[in-house]
Structure 1
Amino acid sequence: MDDDVRTAAEDERMLDSLTIGRRIRQLRTDRGLTLDDLGAALGRAASQVSVIENGKRELKLGELQKLARTLQVSVDELLSAEPPSKRAALEIALERAQRGPLYASLGLPPLPVRKSLSDDAIQTILALHDELQRLHRERAATPEEARRANTQLRRQMRQRNNYFADLEARAKELLSAVGHEGGPLSQRVASDLASHLGFSLHYVPDLPSSTRSVTDLKHGRIYLPVNQGAGSDPRSTLLQALASHVLGVSEPKDYADFLRQRVETNYLAAALMVPEHSAVEFLRAAKEKRELSVEDLRDAFAVSYETAAHRFTNLATEHLGIPVHFLKVHESGTLSKAYENDNVAFPTDALGAVEGQLVCRYWSARRVFDVDDRFSPYHQYTDKPSGTYWCTSRIQSTSRGDFSVSVGTPFAHVKWFRGRDTANRSASTCPDEGCCRRPPADLAARWEHNSLPSARLNSSLLAAMPVGIYPGVDSTEVFEFLEAHSPGQ
């Protein structure tokens, strides 16, 4: 906070010195005085007057009064914050830019502000400087900016029921081009799709550690890892690379653009693995039997449970008329991903962001971790402030720990789902702290002043937006990799 205040104060002083200096120069030239003339009247050398006019020295009150008398103006007029002319305003802005840390970081020599430097030239330089500042601010997006962008994106997804008709149409067009008539997408068909788009596949052991895949657009190659991580789907990695190419993913303009690109790429990849027409037929038949199940969708299309759950949220409201919510929760209880269009109340911070918030310990997304049977899905009814919801949850293990993946719906729609006959029931009044965040009085009395826990923070939730042409990727490492694997090398 002190640094921010100090910087603001320094900027204000700089602005005052520059504005006063330009006003003194303007008044001097208006009165036909030279630097020597004004210096003689003040008892100063001409070089010292030049330093004052260039805003490089703050003036004392006595000096200001003497200057005002010499230039025949009031002290108040001399101290006016308004630049004396449009040209002076441009010169002040250019001087301020050159004295700032961004200009210093560029390693450029100082640019003298001479009369020969036109107004248009100064405006162009200032515009370039402002654009560089904007890019630096956005590349170093604060956690607050990132969370605001994520909150806005989630709101937009809710408005469209998490359904992207244009991406569904693109997936249908691509699958038709390789003769896929429906059902699960095999690895062979995924490879055919790569060939159709002009790419050959190359499995390598030395893929850059910051990447899942690397696409060589120059030679039409996609590099994939020889060994996939536990629980990962090789089709998913390939299809996400192809989706990025099809959607023309490029350097994001800001954090919101970065998040949008990720959502659209993942959506298109999932729409290829679980084609809309086949999936909707399957889900409608299950609804008619009142046997809707995320597990069945997973098994029918040979995808991960999380992919099936995501895909269910894409299609359930649009084609089945069922409002839903989705959660991915870490074993610590923190919320990793969430979506809803059924008015369930997720925990949020002051910005409306849900990422990193603690989920109520009475929700199925938390209760599932206490269940020994991890083979069967866990179903639960929960009475929440906005109504009663039914939810189905499963646990998936990753290198970052265990996560629960949950899909839920309001009580009025549970009649369509398998597992509706569960006896598991709970009640939650969160975000009321008395629900599960405030310890029982007897425990608090014993331990409130006799404990000192050390929190383990999820650093990714506090991180700035990854930097680079492709955020989060080491560009040098990728370019060296491509150079080493380029045909003919």
Structure 2
Amino acid sequence: MDAELEQTLTAIGPRLRSLRRDRGMTLEALSAATGISVSGLSRIESGKRRPTLELLIPLARAHRVALDQLIAAPATGDPRVHLTPRRHRHGSVLVPLTRYPGRLQVFKQVIAPRPRRFVTHAGYEWLFVLAGELLLVLGERELTLRPGEVAEFDTAEPHWFGPSGDRAVEILHIFGPQGEKAQVRARPAGLRNHRGD
């Protein structure tokens, strides 16, 4: 085994221990979440047991991190993120900017005019308008957001958003589980129709 691979494998245990402690998890709680015995987890964290893929996948899920982040995979030499746009009916385009399931998800969206269809689900959304005008409907309230304006809301409330007129709108869209809200340092108070001047 080459030295670089040995170093990568040796660093996994301490990284797992640090990750678990940062999240305030006990070995018992992590064992319940992953199905890996407490003694097995302890041996992995102390470096006495080599983590296999079958062990790392449930650990990555439990900690809600990507597998390559968990093992600190070396860079491939190409720093570019290769984005794959998803085209939807009505001409809308969604470009995922993150790849970490279960954590905050970031998308760039170009939304073409579309019919209103209210939805509710668990989570929290944050919308930043890049170009065009976005109509956000939260229950009975209708708000128009222009470039540079931000809205954030709990997705348990019935909601819909799309272009305010007959032209597409371009937004950054952040979605996360409840409690993982985007931290915005400066924004208009509340969800008012505000230009942010």
Between structures 1 and 2, the one with greater helix share: 1
Q: Whose radius of gyration is greater, 1 or 2?
A: 1
TM-score (norm 2): 0.33
Between structures 1 and 2, the one with greater strand share: 2
By relative contact order (CA 8 Å, sep 6+), the higher-ranking structure is: 2
TM-score (norm 1): 0.17
